[in-house]
């Protein structure tokens, strides 16, 4: 529970009569307009209509944002477990759904598809926050039960999403979990121990990738080598996942000519580099227009490359600036929250958004591996777009009830 003095101190920065944080919704309007314009541009050459669907997702998202903002966020504390287990059922149902691009991630309802893994990020976050809000926090022994509960809460959806397979979405969960544990004031020993485990796992991944590459070199039939290596490896990674990581750390080894797994990364870099300061103009970007940046990814995973090429440094900077204000707004709300549960919700949402933003823009400019994570409020996609609006509506509710005595 945040102290009463802290609450009074932070509330003095905003007049008592202010009931809404208007900066965030204004940024969301700007991001939504950019999203629709550049999705239309990315799909114009191929005649796609995804921009029309994006308008629909934005309308649904803003409606949900408003409704959730008007509801007291404490309601999620009561129903978090029900939402969590309902979404887990959805994650199980995807294994009977259609195989798209080598993965089973969607539930097909005919008129539209739903991606439960995107909803699971939100449901797992609120359930984890509800568990910690009710847990005793003190020394390591007192906190252990809460830590184990959160570990179990996050491990189940992570495991199911990894099996789809969707490594990118799986990697979003740990930062959210640690942010909740940090806000709950878990002992420093826990974070130090976790960092040591992370370093060990990173070493195992490096060892695995090195032997994977050696194994393929020594085998005259690469396809047979892939199957044989996956059967003997201790890490349950797929061939395409190892290729993506190798392409990032050693592109000259995995794809020296840039025509395989390194293609999208190179084309995205060209798009960003040729955009200049002011860009080539809306609809004038050559990478998506001529198909160098494939139409299958230009409007979603690599939408920032389209933005940077057509609107340049100014447009890309504007998009990053608005995303930054949204994230900063979440952190500001966390500091003003009336209780620990509200603070955990706001920080969890900010960390989720930051993870997506960093990885997505990072893979576009070549500083992170390609994972397929969408860029919040800019990439095409109904499930993630609507969930992001829902989460920010929840944060707005925390702000509106910041003076409540709960």
Render pLDDT for 65-101 as a digit per residue (tens, 0 to 9). Answer: 999 999 999 999 999 999 999 999 999 998 887 777 6
Quick: pLDDT tens for 104-155: 888 877 777 889 999 999 999 999 999 999 887 766 676 788 889 999 999 9
**Cα–Cα dist 313/275, whole Å:** 7
CB 58 within 8 A of CB 50: no
57 compared with 238, residue with greater pLDDT? 57
pLDDT value at 382 more than 70: yes
Quick: pLDDT tens for 325-339: 999 999 999 999 989
Please spell the DSSP secondary structure of 282-309, one letter per residue. Answer: TT--HHHHTTSS-HHHHTTTTHHHHHHH
3-state SS class at 46:
coil
**Residue from 117, 216, 229, 108 nearest 165 by CA:** 117
Give the per-residue pLDDT at 18: 56
Give the per-residue pLDDT at 16: 44
Quick: pLDDT tens for 252-262: 666 666 666 77
Q: What are the domain boundaries of the chain? A: 4-208+262-400
CB 390 within 8 A of CB 68: yes
Give the per-residue pLDDT at 230: 67
Lowest mean pLDDT among 78-82, 263-267, 349-353, 381-385: 263-267
Mean pLDDT of 169-173: 92
285 compared with 315, residue with greater pLDDT? 315
Mean pLDDT score of the chain, rounded to an integer? 84
pLDDT band for 12, please (50, 70, 90 cuts). Answer: very low
Lowest mean pLDDT among 8-12, 85-89, 297-301, 316-320: 8-12
Give the per-residue pLDDT at 153: 95
Q: Cα angle vertex 30, ends 29, 36, to 5°? A: 90
| Percentage of residues of the chain with pLDDT beyond 70 | 85
Give the per-residue pLDDT at 298: 83
**Residue from 241, 97, 96 nearest 162 by CA:** 241
Residues 6+ apart with CB under 8 A from 212: 229, 233, 242, 246
pLDDT value at 234 more than 90: no
Mean pLDDT of 206-232: 68
């Amino acid at each position: 529970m945040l102290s009463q003095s802290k609450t009074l101190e932070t509330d003095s920065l905003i007049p008592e009569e202010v009931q809404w944080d208007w900066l965030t919704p204004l940024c969301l309007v700007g991001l939504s307009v950019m999203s629709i314009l550049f999705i239309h541009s990315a799909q114009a050459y191929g005649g796609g209509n995804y921009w029309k669907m994006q308008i629909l997702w934005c309308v649904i998202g803003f409606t949900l944002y408003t409704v959730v903002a008007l509801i007291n966020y404490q309601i999620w504390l009561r129903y978090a477990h029900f939402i969590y287990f309902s979404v887990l059922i959805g994650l199980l149902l995807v294994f009977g759904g259609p195989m798209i691009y080598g993965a089973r991630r969607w539930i097909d309802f005919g008129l539209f598809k739903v991606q439960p893994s995107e909803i699971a990020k939100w449901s797992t976050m609120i359930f984890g926050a509800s568990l910690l809000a009710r847990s005793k926090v003190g020394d390591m022994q007192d906190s252990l039960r809460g830590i184990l509960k959160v570990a179990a809460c996050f491990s189940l959806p992570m495991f199911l999403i990894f099996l789809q397979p969707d490594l990118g979405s799986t990697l979003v969960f740990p930062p959210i979990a640690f942010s909740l544990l940090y806000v709950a004031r878990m002992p420093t020993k826990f974070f130090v121990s976790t960092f040591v485990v992370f370093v060990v796992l990173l070493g195992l991944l490096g060892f695995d990738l090195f032997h994977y590459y050696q194994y393929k070199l020594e085998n005259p039939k690469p396809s047979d080598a892939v199957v044989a290596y996956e059967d003997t490896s201790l890490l349950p990674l797929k061939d395409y996942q190892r290729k993506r990581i190798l392409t990032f750390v050693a592109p000259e080894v995995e794809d020296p000519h840039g025509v395989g797994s390194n293609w999208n990364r190179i084309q995205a870099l060209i798009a960003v580099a040729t955009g200049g300061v002011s860009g080539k103009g809306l609809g004038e970007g050559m990478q998506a227009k001529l198909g160098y940046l494939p139409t299958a990814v230009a409007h979603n995973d690599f939408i920032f490359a389209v933005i940077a090429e057509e609107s340049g440094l100014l447009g890309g900077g504007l998009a990053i600036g608005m995303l930054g204000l949204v994230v900063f707004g979440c952190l500001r709300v966390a500091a003003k929250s009336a209780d620990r549960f509200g603070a955990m919700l706001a920080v969890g949402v900010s960390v989720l958004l930051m993870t997506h933003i960093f990885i997505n823009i990072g893979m576009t400019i070549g500083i992170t591996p390609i994972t397929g994570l969408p860029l919040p409020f800019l990439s095409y996609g109904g499930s993630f777009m609507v969930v992001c609006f829902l989460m920010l509506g929840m944060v707005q509710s925390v702000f509106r009830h910041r003076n409540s005595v709960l």
